[in-house]
Chain A
Amino acid sequence: MFQKVLVANRGEIAVRILRTLRELGIPSVAIYSEADVGALHVELADEAVLIGPAPATASYLDADAIVAACQASGCDALHPGYGFLSENAAFAARCCDEGITFVGPSSEVIALMGDKIRARRLVASLGLPIVPGTLEPVETVSEARAAGAELGFPVAIKAAGGGGGIGFRVARDPEELEQALASSRSEGERFFGNGEVYIERYFDDPRHVEVQILGDSTGNVVHLGERDCTIQRRHQKLVEESPAPTVSADVRSRMTGLATTLAAHIGYTTAGTIEGLLVDDDFYFLEMNTRLQVEHPVTEAVTGLDLVREQLAAAAGQPLSVTQADVRTEGTAIECRINAEAAHKNFIPSPGTIERYSEPSDARVDSGVRGGSIVSPHYDSLLAKVIAIGDTREEATAHMIEALDEFEIVGVATLLPFHRSLLRTTQWAEAGTARDLISDRDWLRATA
């Protein structure tokens, strides 16, 4: 395995990766910005390196500073987590050039899947279903109008380098196209350095379902079943569960077949996720995320595997611990993201200081904070994740409600009240969609 691994991230995912490194007996190095002095991940690592000021561009996105930290601390591998540089092909190539193992796919695979237009073309060329839309960048308003007329409104305009809801606009009619095109392009340029956009048919209230993939350098590719991530706000996930509550055996087999076919075709050698939309019983490829996902713990909970351990083994050239025949799933797992946000105020973020913090005793909590932690305006709002399991979805829901009721965070607004209410609704019990749940303002207002 590795001599020493640098975790190029912060918050709950850095803490999560550090835990597995400790279990494997691999020395760890954390990096931190000036805003994260005293942060939990800094304390839990064997060593920590200050890499720059608070803004992410000057710290967690600063490739030079991170490579220098690897070299100064003698790390032979780097785990990027999610976000930040995890899907940056140039950074993965840089690590490779510097002799640092990047715990993730090759820079070529990151670049291929990071360009959503190329990824769509590849999946379509394999004869697999993609969301109907353009296979080439859309340059002009008249091209956009033509695409809209062919697909039917509403349509989604998306940045080719985008993700996480950034560079994503919806045009409900031809009049909205020009503005949507301009906004999507401008966000793509600003956040991803890529102004190319494409147009897809927009499904108003689909289910978001994704398949977890693992691969290694021996050519073994397995899927670990699916996750349903339908409950979102601003195109970002809030609740995830596995297995998906509305998926039949036939649909599951088509989804997982698509995912393993694609992963095997590109020679995938680490953890990844194939995301799709489920509209009635039709599954369409949306995009592939070539990294660990925020919601990976629900898959860990139903399979009993440690995905970070599998990633590290695969990166070290070792085989995965399982073949497809070994993968067994048991029960249902649910994850609730505890963001520092006020749900009743349109999910406005809530930076500040955590005054009191007490975790539930009977559920998995992946957290990046504790009492006294500062929630900085410089980073995203995810504080912690609660993962509950049960033999059935009802039982997992009951366990989650108990855990949420016991979880106490005081000092910043959090989504704890939102999740406590959401999991008690009949819409949740009936596996409702985002529109059923988030758009029902009556119960949402009550989460103040």
Chain B
Amino acid sequence: MTAPGEILSPITGSVFRIHAAVGDAVEVEQVVAIIESMKLEIEVESELAGTIVSVLVAEGDAIAEGDAMFTVQ
């Protein structure tokens, strides 16, 4: 399944690690980033399969629940 769209942050916190770069192929449920919130590292799983076309956040950024982190095509 391939669908264009965005990978959203599941939680408010800060971006700890980004595990995907522009051009990478991603699968559904693949961990693409880690967000640190309330002293925990929360894995961000892609809900989409496709190719990363842009990375919208950087490590260390503050992020809110629902913010777009990647666009996928």
**A: which residues have CB within 8 A of B?**
234, 340, 348-352, 377-381
B1 within 8 A of A: no
CA distance A378 to B42 in the complex (A): 14
Contacts of A351 in B (CB 8 A): 11-13, 37-38
**Beyond A351-B11, A377-B38, A380-B38, 11 additional pairs, beta carbon < 8 A:** A234-B40, A348-B10, A348-B11, A349-B11, A349-B13, A349-B38, A350-B11, A351-B38, A377-B11, A377-B13, A381-B39
Contacts of A234 in B (CB 8 A): 40
B46 within 8 A of A: no
Which residue of A is nearest B63, CB measured? A377
Count residues of B near A (Cβ-Cβ below 8 Å). 10
CA distance A348 to B11 in the complex (A): 8
Chain A interface, >50% SS class: loop
Which one of A350, A377, A379, A381 contacts B14 once the chains associate, using CB atoms below 8 Å? A377
Contacts of A340 in B (CB 8 A): 38
Whether A379 pairs with B12 at a CB distance below 8 angstroms is no
CA distance A358 to B24 in the complex (A): 49
Contacts of B12 in A (CB 8 A): 351-352, 377
Q: List 28 A-B contacts (CB under 8 A).
A: A234-B40, A340-B38, A348-B10, A348-B11, A348-B42, A349-B11, A349-B13, A349-B37, A349-B38, A349-B40, A349-B42, A350-B11, A351-B11, A351-B12, A351-B13, A351-B37, A351-B38, A352-B12, A377-B11, A377-B12, A377-B37, A377-B38, A378-B38, A379-B38, A379-B39, A380-B38, A381-B39, A381-B40
CA distance A8 to B37 in the complex (A): 22
Give the one of B14, B37, B42 with max A CB within 10 A: B37
CA distance A352 to B42 in the complex (A): 16
Contacts of B10 in A (CB 8 A): 348
CA distance A165 to B40 in the complex (A): 11
Which residue of A is nearest B39, CB measured? A380
Give the one of B12, B13, B40 with max A CB within 10 A: B40
Give the one of B11, B13, B39, B42 with max A CB within 10 A: B39
Shortest Cβ-Cβ A-B pairs, 9 listed: A349-B38, A377-B13, A377-B37, A381-B38, A351-B12, A380-B39, A377-B12, A349-B37, A380-B38
Give the one of B10, B37, B38 with max A CB within 10 A: B38
Contacts of A380 in B (CB 8 A): 38-39
Contacts of A378 in B (CB 8 A): 38
Q: How far in angstroms is the closest Cβ of chain A from B16?
A: 11
Q: Give the residues from 28 to 58 in chain B that come closer than 8 angstroms, CB to CB, to chain A.
A: 37-40, 42
CA distance A379 to B37 in the complex (A): 8
Q: Write the B6-21 contact mask toward A (1 if CB under 8 angstroms, else 0).
A: 0000111110000000
Contacts of B39 in A (CB 8 A): 379-381
Q: How far in angstroms is the closest Cβ of chain B from A219?
A: 38
CA distance A380 to B13 in the complex (A): 12
Q: How far in angstroms is the closest Cβ of chain B from A36?
A: 14
Q: How far in angstroms is the closest Cβ of chain B from A441?
A: 18
CA distance A352 to B14 in the complex (A): 14
Q: How far in angstroms is the closest Cβ of chain A from B26?
A: 21
CA distance A234 to B41 in the complex (A): 12
CA distance A445 to B38 in the complex (A): 23
CA distance A348 to B14 in the complex (A): 15
Contacts of B37 in A (CB 8 A): 349, 351, 377
Which residue of A is nearest B35, CB measured? A377
CA distance A377 to B40 in the complex (A): 10
Q: How far in angstroms is the closest Cβ of chain A from B42?
A: 6
CA distance A350 to B37 in the complex (A): 9
Q: How far in angstroms is the closest Cβ of chain B from A342?
A: 10
Which residue of A is nearest B38, CB measured? A349
CA distance A329 to B38 in the complex (A): 36
Q: How far in angstroms is the closest Cβ of chain A from B39?
A: 5
CA distance A378 to B14 in the complex (A): 9
CA distance A381 to B12 in the complex (A): 13
Give the one of A349, A377, A381 with max B CB within 10 A: A377
Contacts of B14 in A (CB 8 A): 377
Contacts of A377 in B (CB 8 A): 11-14, 37-38
Which residue of B is nearest A375, CB measured? B38
Which residue of A is nearest B13, CB measured? A377
CA distance A377 to B61 in the complex (A): 13
CA distance A335 to B38 in the complex (A): 21
CA distance A149 to B38 in the complex (A): 37
CA distance A351 to B11 in the complex (A): 8
Which residue of B is nearest A380, CB measured? B39
Q: How far in angstroms is the closest Cβ of chain B from A407?
A: 20
Q: How far in angstroms is the closest Cβ of chain A from B47?
A: 15
